[in-house]
Chains A and B, each alone.
Chain A
């Protein structure tokens, strides 16, 4: 079963624009993570935000977490063609240790 649900399913933007992806989840969590997957490759960890944090930055990435709404957003600023990939949110449900993934957002950045 999948805990998270990303929105939108697909996003197409131009280089230089910002990309925002959202994730909603069902149960209380210990932390929420975002991963990227390039076509035909494995997933790569991008950023982790703990349940007691509200915002976190890493380079061009900004993640927010609203535990009252059970939602998170990933913002990629000044996007590049190399950011083209699928992005997944993953949660560790409270009291559980297994990382559970959503269905992903497919991002296409055109030059």
Chain B
């Protein structure tokens, strides 16, 4: 099993440029999360999907961030335009949603640097 796959691992862009991150969850996992992790902090939720439906996007800055999960499988997170404060690691995680335990498997993350 490949685990949760994220790309790119690293991205450096100038402010006001767009950027997109891709995530392929574990096969069969219906729940997918995007978290943002600032240096020295814990992950903070951006958006949670159950299948293709965004069931919790209350923390997503919708003026510049967008996400989609077509066909309930892989997902893309986009930032347009990027700001200096968006520099962080963007983590994708998936879960099978069984027994309501919400145990998650994380990808390695995409580290974004905005100059």
Q: Which residues from chain A sit less than 8 Å from chain B, CB to CB?
A: 1-2, 4, 30-31, 33, 35, 41-45, 48, 88, 92, 97-104
Give the size category of B's interface with A.
20 to 34
* Those 10 A-B pairs whose CB atoms lie nearest each other, nearest first: A42-B106, A101-B42, A43-B106, A103-B42, A42-B108, A101-B43, A99-B102, A92-B102, A104-B42, A98-B56
List the interface of chain B (C-beta within 8 A of A): 4, 33, 35, 40-45, 48, 55-56, 59, 91, 93, 100-109
Q: Which of A45, A100, A102 contacts B103 (CB 8 A)?
A: A45
Contacts of A100 in B (CB 8 A): 45
| Given contacts A42-B4, A42-B107, A43-B43, A97 and B55 within 8 Å (CB-CB) | yes
* Distance of A99 Cα from B33 Cα, bound (Å): 9
